[in-house]
Amino acid sequence: MAEKTIRVEAGKHDRKLCPVAVAIPDTLAGSTELLDEKGRRVPHQMVGGTLHFIVSNLKADSTLVLKLKDGSTTKERPGVIVFDDSSQQVVEVRLKSQMITRYHYSAAKPRPFLYPLIGPYGDGVTRNYPMAEVEGEQKDHRHHRSCYVAWGDVNGADNWSEEPGHASIRHQKFLEISNGTVLGRISALNYWLTKDGVKQMEEERTYTFYNVAPERLFDLTVKFTMTEGDIRFGDTKEGGIISFRVATTMDRAHGGLITHSSGGKTERETWGKRSFWCDYSGPVQGKTVGITVMDTPGNFRYPTYWHVRDYGLMTANPFGLSHFLGPGNDGSLVCPRGSQLVFRYRVFIHKDDAAKAAVADRFVDYVFPPQIVVE
């Protein structure tokens, strides 16, 4: 491959800090460089024959023309650095040298989780409790550990709470820990166990963090494999395939706000409702920040239902229909032995509220990305 022309067509939407990926047909023998129409270098990353880069700012109905060439003499500096501190049993993620989160995988905790999550102003946007005691924070629901994956009825096992008799999720090994100019990745294999330590199924959890500072953007993929037998994800409100407990100052009592893509606001208008995305915004250290979770076409029961509370909880809950819609609605799902169930989400941590942060536009970037043509 001597040179390829990459055409990025915005379509009918403005694009801002939008990750894109395109397969490059030819095998690349070495380093490459990506140049814009003025010959300026565009940060990029090749991952297994796929070109990744960020579309920083592209107006609707515009086309960005780039050149991908062999033989760059300039070494790309990692924008996302991911490293395993095995002595502490955490994987730390840095964006432009700033720590933005840590993935905790110690067996001393009931389940793996992300904590802290550092927002665009440099402050944590999730609650510290129970990982740390901070004056003024709410200390209810000990199992709400910042950002986590959990479900309260897996063949009857409670893998949501931390009450006596709860089940657990146990880290087994890392499948990938990688750095990059555009993205960094953590992929881990976990076992879901009963309270007695009996294996129920396997979970591959993958976080992909993008270089879009000062905002935060990452994708989560959760792939369940029914290795031991049939698995029934029970109908309960006590669960979330992706779950957040926001900072206490972001609760509604302190000026926080839940917003749905449907236009609903506050718990009364959003709890148990279906929505393409859900946003929780509020003040942290005197500045408004927000966390958006975006559902993905192809996920089970897309658009998902939301178990979201004014006191600070936000979860994507696709199974709890009897709670959301009333008796007679069974939201449970039985997955036969050997099958897989995959969920994908995007998380956007931003300045301001959902409207000012143009969350609806960022959702379009995710599910209807720019069209890319390789010539």
The Cα 26–Cα 294 span in angstroms is 33
The Cα 40–Cα 12 span in angstroms is 26
pLDDT of residue 28: 55
Which amino acid would we find at residue 335? C
Map tokens 């379509």 to a residue: 11
pTM for the predicted model, two decimal places = 0.97
Residue 233 DSSP code: E
The CA R_g of the chain, rounded to the nearest whole Å, is 21
Using the CB atoms, write b or e for 81-97: b if 16+ within 10 Å: bbeeeeeebbbbbbbee
Please, what are the domains in the chain?
3-76 (2.60.40), 80-367 (2.70.98)
pLDDT of residue 250: 98
Nearest to 168 by CA among 204, 192, 146, 200: 192
Render each residue's pLDDT in the chain as its tens digit; 375 residues: 578 999 999 999 999 999 999 999 775 556 889 999 999 999 999 998 899 999 999 999 999 999 999 876 667 778 999 999 999 999 999 998 899 999 999 999 999 999 999 999 999 999 999 999 999 999 999 999 999 999 999 999 999 999 999 999 999 999 999 999 999 999 999 999 999 999 999 999 999 999 999 999 999 999 999 999 999 999 999 999 999 999 999 999 999 999 999 999 999 999 999 999 999 999 999 999 999 999 999 999 999 999 999 999 999 999 999 999 999 999 999 999 999 999 999 999 999 999 999 999 999 999 999 999 999
Asked if residues 127 and 248 have their Cβ atoms less than 8 Å apart, the reply is yes
130-139's contacts with Cβ under 8 Å and 24+ in sequence apart are 136/248, 137/248, 138/248, 138/251, 138/311, 138/312
